[in-house]
Chain A
């Protein structure tokens, strides 16, 4: 685990805080004076993983920079539910332009700050998987190529959720969406399509690429803090379960994220200049069924007409992640992803 473990303090660093731990080693989220970058009254669904991820990331970035952050936002749930005119939930400087151009806007903000000689003001750009994986990918690649001084964060909820749950390039195979119906011999989203933007980002050999989930707060904050200590183009990909689009209970958002990691479905790792440097190891390995059965988007794989063959293909994908990233063994055993 890249985040340093503490010696035995009842809940160690698994829980957000711990009264037995030095306050400096507790998560940013436990602090009464956290920035609350996105405040109450937003219109995110009950149990939204994305708003949680956004607060975790931005509060950590605010703390790491002494409160000197500009956020650039792509179109998406996060933008829609936080800023219906005339209200805003943002308590930090925040810019929204279009769906696909957030990386370009962020590059521009970074250039302006450089022109004004304000190196201490840092830029964080954020988008959902739609704005990252599909619509914003060209701008993002350019931002990486130029090594602009931006931390780009993708909150991945694996689909276009506020428009009615359509498939994105990040939707997992077999998942039901509005346009990948659970019918026919290959129900749900097809296998073998879509893409991994973390691996694409690594192929640009930028200074820092990392993945995280909303289930491991200390790990996520550690990665934000580390990214903010670096200059140049950095990329953070955060898995944020969507109760609406995934059909999971609102109370299970963090549990689902945790199982995504513990099954191997979502590998959690860090890379610097194109090379994997650390992985979060699986602590309690479970079969993918435990992850899938919490989500109605996979309900057609179980029940009266179960599809164990499809579940087995999903398990094979998870197993491949486990061996590819060395999720069971120590980080030294990770094989470098080939990028395919």
Chain B
């Protein structure tokens, strides 16, 4: 017996007692789908790049590179995207959604300012791909296909690249130097861009150029038709052509009083543009009410601030030199507008029609297998048309029409083209379970009110094309990024490691896999799950 004074027995450790045997459920680390990611038409991993950006100077470039994996236009997106991510953001149920769009713009602007670039790392595949149209969708596809090692040529009918980003979105929303910088970055990867090159026969162009596949993204550049009885001296213009002309430096003759017919973003853009061109009155005439207007609420609000007026529940019955005659409408139970037979005369020097846009699909007319329905090209789930090797995306396919949706189509089509060429397998990930608000423990998040971007003063908005929405600066962009709740993803807060009464959470200090459950001792109490702020752990039943 070689024991200290008063010690007579050996002491064993309680670690001999494997309390894991008590367990009926076990905690499992899990990644859920953040609402922002689920809502992004461009399939950005928003949660992931905000996580990077939360680190500030050390993380901004990483964050930007995460965006660039799916979307080559962060600075454009941060201005023109209608951010469905923010509508879905769980923080909206706590105080106000994270300003994802403003952080994206900050990162995009940082990249331009600091000259961050991406590089093609894939081996050349030797495949040649034709992209028709240098709009958001075509440029996005060209970018991703180039990164995958393919040789890409874009044929663009117009004199400049950008598509609706240039010809549809006025420069007070998207300054052209920002657009040019992001387009140039794509072209610098080695994409060949042929301007003023309209494709009239896709199969012929493909054969001539020896292309292995094609992506059709000609957009919807034609003004939609609406029959408006017009007197001889009436001045009637089309919205798309007007914005197009203006972009090429030609000021349209609109007069002092401008009426715009339509309820979409283009109608609002034209009215705001008219104000800037010197119109005293800019009036948007729409057949339904504001709640049912397709234009984004931010745009409508900004337009109203600039003095744009709205005439709801009205259709244009007649237009002549004196002005526009509108008929008052009422909505039936299903929200469809019904004429009332009451007419009203509104003074106007010109009427701009913004009643939808159509695609010029002459390039694919008669191409075997391609089906066109209601002015749109039918595609399968991989964005391929009925003609093998010809894919389509953006405004030419039936989907929502926005820059972001188009960019998403480009990404999706690029992956599908890559797979179709036998160079990779199509993405078939099962979507993760959603990270609903109820999976979060919001107690742990610091109270922090959203930072809103400043707007240009109204006087300058009425007379210049200067950018309306201002950006965030270094400090408040970081603050805004840190408002992110990281829904559904571990962000290494150490709560699980700390709250386990049985020391059964092991901290690995490894990126990507910070913790491990020690199942020898985990009793399955579920405290780690309850106290995980972001809902990144779940209990699963044991097989008993």
A interface list, Cβ under 8 A from B? 8-12, 14-20, 26-27, 29-30, 32, 36, 39-44, 46-49, 51-52, 55, 82, 85-89, 217, 243, 249-255, 258, 284
A10-B445, A20-B482, A39-B13 known; A255-B494 Cβ under 8 A: no
Q: Looking at chain B's contact residues, is the secondary structure mostly helix, strand, loop, or mixed?
A: loop
Cβ B503 vs Cβ A19 within 8 A: no
A-B contact pairs, 7 of them (CB 8 A): A9-B446, A9-B482, A14-B445, A47-B501, A51-B501, A243-B525, A251-B529
How far is B457's CA from A278's CA once the two chains are assembled, in angstroms? 47
Q: Looking at chain A's contact residues, is the secondary structure mostly helix, strand, loop, or mixed?
A: loop
Cβ B14 vs Cβ A82 within 8 A: yes
How far is B499's CA from A55's CA once the two chains are assembled, in angstroms? 10
A10-B482, A29-B494, A88-B14 known; A253-B507 Cβ under 8 A: no
Instruction: Identify the closest chain B residue to A6 (Cβ).
Output: B446
Cβ B530 vs Cβ A255 within 8 A: yes
A10-B491, A11-B533 known; A52-B499 Cβ under 8 A: yes
A36-B503, A250-B525 known; A217-B498 Cβ under 8 A: yes
B55 interface residue per 8 A CB criterion: yes
How far is B526's CA from A18's CA once the two chains are assembled, in angstroms? 21
B491 proximity list for chain A (CB < 8 A): 10, 19
The smallest C-beta distance from B329 to any residue of chain A, in angstroms, reads: 48
B interface list, Cβ under 8 A from A? 9-19, 22, 54-55, 443-446, 448, 479, 482-484, 486, 491-495, 497-499, 501-504, 507, 509, 518, 520-521, 523-527, 529-531, 533
Most chain B CB neighbours (cut-off 10 Å) among A15, A51, A253: A15
How far is B521's CA from A89's CA once the two chains are assembled, in angstroms? 13
Instruction: Identify the closest chain B residue to A250 (Cβ).
Output: B525
Cβ A87 vs Cβ B501 within 8 A: no
Contact with A88, one of B11, B54, B494 (Cβ below 8 angstroms): B11
How far is B13's CA from A36's CA once the two chains are assembled, in angstroms? 13
Contact with B493, one of A8, A15, A243, A252 (Cβ below 8 angstroms): A15
A46-B22, A46-B523, A47-B527 known; A8-B448 Cβ under 8 A: yes
Contact with A30, one of B15, B497, B518 (Cβ below 8 angstroms): B497
A41-B14, A46-B524 known; A15-B530 Cβ under 8 A: no
Instruction: Identify the closest chain B residue to A10 (Cβ).
Output: B482
Instruction: Identify the closest chain A residue to B523 (Cβ).
Output: A46
A19-B492, A40-B503, A86-B10 known; A11-B525 Cβ under 8 A: no
The smallest C-beta distance from B58 to any residue of chain A, in angstroms, reads: 10
Instruction: Identify the closest chain B residue to A48 (Cβ).
Output: B501
B483 proximity list for chain A (CB < 8 A): 10
How far is B213's CA from A149's CA once the two chains are assembled, in angstroms? 83
Most chain B CB neighbours (cut-off 10 Å) among A16, A36, A43, A284: A16
Cβ B13 vs Cβ A88 within 8 A: yes
A15-B494, A19-B491, A20-B55 known; A87-B503 Cβ under 8 A: no
Cβ B503 vs Cβ A26 within 8 A: no
Given A40-B503, A43-B14, A87-B16; 6 other pairs, CB 8 A cutoff: A14-B446, A15-B533, A16-B495, A42-B502, A46-B525, A89-B14
Instruction: Identify the closest chain A residue to B506 (Cβ).
Output: A32
How far is B507's CA from A313's CA once the two chains are assembled, in angstroms? 45
Instruction: Identify the closest chain A residue to B22 (Cβ).
Output: A46
A32 proximity list for chain B (CB < 8 A): 507, 509
How far is B507's CA from A19's CA once the two chains are assembled, in angstroms? 13
A40-B14, A86-B11, A250-B525 known; A30-B444 Cβ under 8 A: no
How far is B15's CA from A36's CA once the two chains are assembled, in angstroms? 12
How far is B504's CA from A15's CA once the two chains are assembled, in angstroms? 18
How far is B507's CA from A29's CA once the two chains are assembled, in angstroms? 11
The 4 A-B residue pairs whose C-beta atoms are closest, nearest first, are A17-B494, A251-B526, A41-B14, A16-B498
Cβ B502 vs Cβ A40 within 8 A: yes
The smallest C-beta distance from B10 to any residue of chain A, in angstroms, reads: 7
Contact with B497, one of A29, A39, A52, A89 (Cβ below 8 angstroms): A29
Cβ A87 vs Cβ B12 within 8 A: yes
How far is B445's CA from A27's CA once the two chains are assembled, in angstroms? 16
Contact with B494, one of A30, A87, A253, A284 (Cβ below 8 angstroms): A30
B503 proximity list for chain A (CB < 8 A): 36, 39-40, 55
Cβ A251 vs Cβ B14 within 8 A: no
The smallest C-beta distance from A169 to any residue of chain B, in angstroms, reads: 25
Instruction: Identify the closest chain A residue to B483 (Cβ).
Output: A10
Instruction: Identify the closest chain A residue to B484 (Cβ).
Output: A10
How far is B17's CA from A42's CA once the two chains are assembled, in angstroms? 7
Cβ B527 vs Cβ A16 within 8 A: no
B22 proximity list for chain A (CB < 8 A): 46
Cβ B19 vs Cβ A43 within 8 A: yes
How far is B497's CA from A26's CA once the two chains are assembled, in angstroms? 13
A12 proximity list for chain B (CB < 8 A): 446
Cβ B498 vs Cβ A40 within 8 A: no
A14-B445, A41-B13, A42-B14 known; A47-B525 Cβ under 8 A: yes
Cβ A10 vs Cβ B54 within 8 A: yes
B15 proximity list for chain A (CB < 8 A): 39-41
Cβ B19 vs Cβ A41 within 8 A: yes
Cβ B498 vs Cβ A29 within 8 A: yes
